[in-house]
Chain A
Amino acid sequence: MALKEQEKRPVAAKGEHIIARHLIEDDYIKEEKNLVIDGVDVSGRWNTFIFSRVNPKFDRSFFSEIKKTVVGSRINRCWQCGMCTASCTVTPLHRRFNPRAFIYMMQLGNMKELKKYVDVAWRCVGCYKCSQRCPKQVNPAEMMEALALVMKKYFPEEVESKLKVDEDVKKIYEDMILGNGRLDLAKLHISSMRKMGRTKELVDRIEGGAVLKMVKDGRAFSLLQLGKPHGWKKSRQAIEGYLKKVDTIEKN
């Protein structure tokens, strides 16, 4: 039975997880329509080449920027063994999510390639299997957090257009934690659903039962039970003061 279960696991397509696969993708392939060399016509497939891989303007500044962040401080340790991708929870579900390739691109500072993955890069579920199994203690799970920060900084437009819901939900979390000191989960759920335009689902046949139950037994009105930490106002002011002083990676 164990074998059968394994067979069900999606198998990677040939070459799917080759890290430099982008080199043979369409936009890296040079093909001249009409080309005559020394009087010989080599049009079409004959003259197919990949663009030069040599990067004469290799820029280390991006690498050092990642290294400076706390989550990405171990990026230099990675030697691309692929254990992270092999143990990843998300990769079987979203084939384009490939931690090893992301780390590779970040090491090279390959912004052009990273930009293509704005829509999947945030899907890490934070299960830490990769960090547990990484032989070099790179901590890929947190590297994915660094990646999310980088994307937000360098591709704000793509993030804004593709990950609007994610950003909105994050904002709700932040406001609630800083404002109250504690999380009101029922309110959080309702406001996230509202942001996503799915308020209707809260009362429909499937989810409505759970919601009604929680309203009935009083769990939905959680703010009453939760309260606020005593003297939170001072802590909040201190946090806001700190955020004004310090440059986080998002800001600069």
Chain B
Amino acid sequence: MLKENQAAYYPGCALLTIDRAYNSSAKLVSKKMGVELVELPDYNCCGIGEMKSKGAVSMYLSLRNMMLAKSKLGSKDLVMACSVCYHEISRSIARVKENKNELEAVNSIFNEAGETKDEFVPDGKVRHLLEFLYNEKGTEEAKKNTVKPLKGLKVAPYYGCLYSRPSMYTFTDKDPKMDNSERPRFMHDFLEVIGAETVSYGNEVQCCGGRNVVQDEETSFALCSQTLSKAKKAGADVIVTICPKCAGALDVNQPKIVEKFGKDSALPVVYLTQLMALAFGFSDKEAEIKDMISGPIKVLREKGF
């Protein structure tokens, strides 16, 4: 069960493996800001949209995590750092609320697996780590903890699609506490508070083509190259992301994108939490900057962070 200043945290599959840098830096930053992320035990994959043709199974996969958060950690809400998981689980919650039959089907699977005794109704929310830190701790807390401001670093904040869209699942625009869907600001605010300078480049909420990144590289590469080159043109030193899927498309695939579209698309990628960890006084080793393929370590060292 959770104590005070703890939050139920769903890491998801990517954050434990390929994107472990995001995971560890998110935990560091949250702890410094006064809230401890407690990993959800026995969580399972959210389904990442590949199970949609299987009826209620996709909803069961997502809601099983909400159920576990309630039964094992005693928390209605669940915090996650991955935008895809955020989208999947919020979508499932919205859907079963709208549709009684779906909820019954999900509950029948729960009963079959012996996971709940009585009917499970998802009454909690899923929260993106960025929104959670912003609303629970605020930029003031980040400012207080900044010991090494990132003066002189020009950053291009990249939100991607599923953090702010669609409103029917994320409640952007609808809830006054949430971000704006077309022009999100929360990442800008955090970056400015820790001393970095944000640039405007027009592709902040564009898509990276991450869903089909395996099957349809052509589309994804074209979209990523557009985003990267626009950010570079606007004078950014690094592009900052909050989603492991975006990082997969922009960072891991960057050598291939550069090969295809030229040097204009070469721009280092970092996670927001990594930059925050640096500003909070952690070393680049603790923030695991070296894990990024596109080599932000070089730029950051040149600038003296």
Contact = CB atoms under 8 A, between A and B. Distances in A.
Contact of B214 (A70, A169, A232, A234): A169
A234 B114 contact: yes
20 contacts: A123-B216, A125-B211, A125-B212, A125-B223, A132-B181, A169-B215, A170-B50, A173-B48, A177-B47, A182-B43, A183-B45, A192-B215, A219-B18, A234-B113, A238-B109, A238-B112, A239-B57, A239-B60, A242-B60, A250-B53
Contacts of B216: 123
Instruction: Please tell me the size bucket of the interface on B.
Output: 35 or more
A225 B212 contact: no
Contacts of B210: 125
B54 interface: yes
Contacts of A169: 214-215
Given A93-B219, A126-B49, A182-B44, A242 B17 contact: no
A243 B61 CA distance: 13
A157 to B, nearest CB: 18
A189 interface: yes
User: By DSSP majority rule, is chain A's interface helix, strand, loop, or mixed?
Assistant: helix
Interface in B223-251: 223, 230
Instruction: Give 4 closest A-B pairs by Cβ, nearest first.
Output: A222-B17, A127-B207, A238-B113, A238-B112
Interface residues of A, number: 68
B300 interface: no
Interface string B153-187: 00000000110011110000000000001100000
B4 interface: no
Interface stretch (A11-19, A22-30, A40-48, A210-218): A210-218
Contacts of A217: 290-291
A54 interface: no
A206 B202 CA distance: 29
Interface string B46-87: 011111111111001100100000000000000000000000
B42 A125 contact: no
Contacts, number: 174
B34 interface: no
Interface string A171-205: 00110010001111110110010000000000000
Given A166-B215, A177-B51, A248-B53, A129 B161 contact: yes
Contact of A222 (B18, B61, B105, B255): B18
B52 A145 contact: yes
A152 interface: yes
Given A128-B166, A206-B259, A177 B61 contact: yes
Contacts of B47: 177
B252 A210 contact: yes
Nearest to A97: B219
B255 A219 contact: no
Contact of A125 (B61, B112, B219): B219
A209 B294 CA distance: 11
A185 B18 contact: yes
B52 A219 contact: no
A93 to B, nearest CB: 6
B165 A127 contact: yes
Contacts of A127: 161-162, 165, 206-207
A2 B202 CA distance: 9
A230 interface: yes
